[in-house]
Chain A
Amino acid sequence: MRASYFHIASLLIVAVGVTLIVFIYSTQPKNLAEIATKSSVAIGTYEIDRAEFANGLAAFRRDEFGSARAAFDRADPEKRDAATQFYIAYSFYRQGWGRISNDNDLFAKGLSATERVLQLDPNYRSADTELGLKTPTELKAEFEDGLKVTVSDFNPLKLTRERK
């Protein structure tokens, strides 16, 4: 064995170790599972948990929005999947929507989730036929409209509108 092999091995250990430490300190994982998830994001192999996504979707269809969001969060812990984040935002819309008045807190959370979808994929379009709003832009407009107090809010015909 030649001395240069040891020098190369040492340089490799230093490079890999320093990269790993910089990665850990910059991503701040909270536990070992998060280290694995964040590593998969970094190397581009991150995927959502399909089973949890299906659970979340089923709960979403049953109008159990709290449990739907919990399942979506488990499915996409790193908040990297536009479809999952779109459903999270949509769940805030459906839960916060009211015939007379909307829940401003839920709408504000929904708006922030929608902006996350726009950051992830500005051209995202949902293929779900049950959703009235197909794109994050439409959803964002709905949230912004719902958070504003305008003269049209006092229009009695507003009581006839339907949740999308």
Chain B
Amino acid sequence: MTEDEIVRSEDLVEASDSLELSKTKSGLSETEVRRYVRLYVMLPIIFLLVTLFGGMRFAATDNAFLFLPPPLICLIFGAVTIFLIFRARLIEFESWFNEENPVLENVANAGMILLIFAASTQVYNLLLPERGLASWIVTALFIWTLWNDIFVDFDQKKLLRSLAGLFAIAFVTKYLVLANLAVKNDASWLQRIFENPGKEAATWFLDLPVYAPATGYLQFFTILLFLFGLYLTPRAGNAKKLSA
């Protein structure tokens, strides 16, 4: 080893020691702090907001809040989505839950998974038409798509793209196509039939609920927030596992 190499090596050891010292003083390095803030503060808030807004609608008459709890089928869809997330390794199960991790970390990670499940359940709640023929048709299409997804080889990007595509088409169906078919005015039944028989027939035949336009805007941003949350979710729960 030359003189220069020895000096450089000593400098590196010194720098490494000083880095270690700054890390032990505060317990976590700055990168780790940022990572923990994202995983344990930002993501829970994002998924809580999605859970809150997913069942929220605005009444057509007075814009009053309506909070619709998810039907049972949405819980099943939520569970399938969690399964797909694990299967596509968007979240590495063995890294998020590991007996080598402290119990508190495993519990906090379990809380996060619970929130992702609740948020995905609510996303299906906002995408499915509330009742009537349209609800049956969209539910059947969701079952078909998710059932196929279970057997497809996904990676993280493909899963996110697939979910984004599925949500986009369901959103357009519910909040653009079906919402425009539903009659919104306060005119009498007879007057509505004379003025717009097609819309009146579609509203009656499909049994479509009518909500204020603000509902569509809120739900659009809720879906975006959910996908953004999934995008931010780290694959590994533990930074050491990730580097290894």
**A residues lining the B interface (CB < 8 Å):** 1-4, 6-11, 13-14, 17-18, 20-21, 24-25, 28-31
Q: Which residue of A lies closest to B106 (CB)?
A: A7
State in angstroms the CA–CA spacing of A25 and B39 once bound together.
Answer: 26
Given A3-B27, A14-B115, A30-B64: A8 and B104 interface contact (C-beta under 8 Å): yes
Q: Given A10-B41, A25-B67, list of 15 further CB < 8 A pairs?
A: A1-B26, A1-B28, A1-B33, A2-B27, A3-B36, A7-B104, A7-B107, A7-B108, A9-B41, A11-B108, A14-B115, A28-B65, A28-B66, A29-B65, A30-B64
- 14 sampled A-B residue pairs with Cβ under 8 A: A3-B36, A7-B105, A7-B107, A10-B41, A10-B44, A10-B108, A13-B40, A14-B48, A14-B111, A17-B115, A18-B118, A21-B52, A28-B65, A28-B66
**B residues lining the A interface (CB < 8 Å):** 26-28, 32-33, 36-37, 39-41, 44-45, 48, 51-52, 55, 64-67, 69, 102, 104-105, 107-108, 111-112, 114-115, 118
Chain A residues whose CB sits within 8 angstroms of the CB of B69 once the complex forms? 25
Q: Which residue of B lies closest to A10 (CB)?
A: B40
Q: Which residue of A lies closest to B103 (CB)?
A: A7
For B37, B111, B118, the residue with the greatest tally of chain A CB atoms inside 10 Å of its CB is B111
Chain B residues whose CB sits within 8 angstroms of the CB of A2 once the complex forms? 27-28
Chain B residues whose CB sits within 8 angstroms of the CB of A4 once the complex forms? 102, 104-105
Q: Is the CB of A13 within 8 A of B48?
A: yes
| Whole-angstrom distance between the Cβ of B59 and the nearest chain A Cβ | 8
State in angstroms the CA–CA spacing of A21 and B45 once bound together.
Answer: 12
| Whole-angstrom distance between the Cβ of A160 and the nearest chain B Cβ | 48
Given A7-B107, A14-B114: A31 and B40 interface contact (C-beta under 8 Å): no
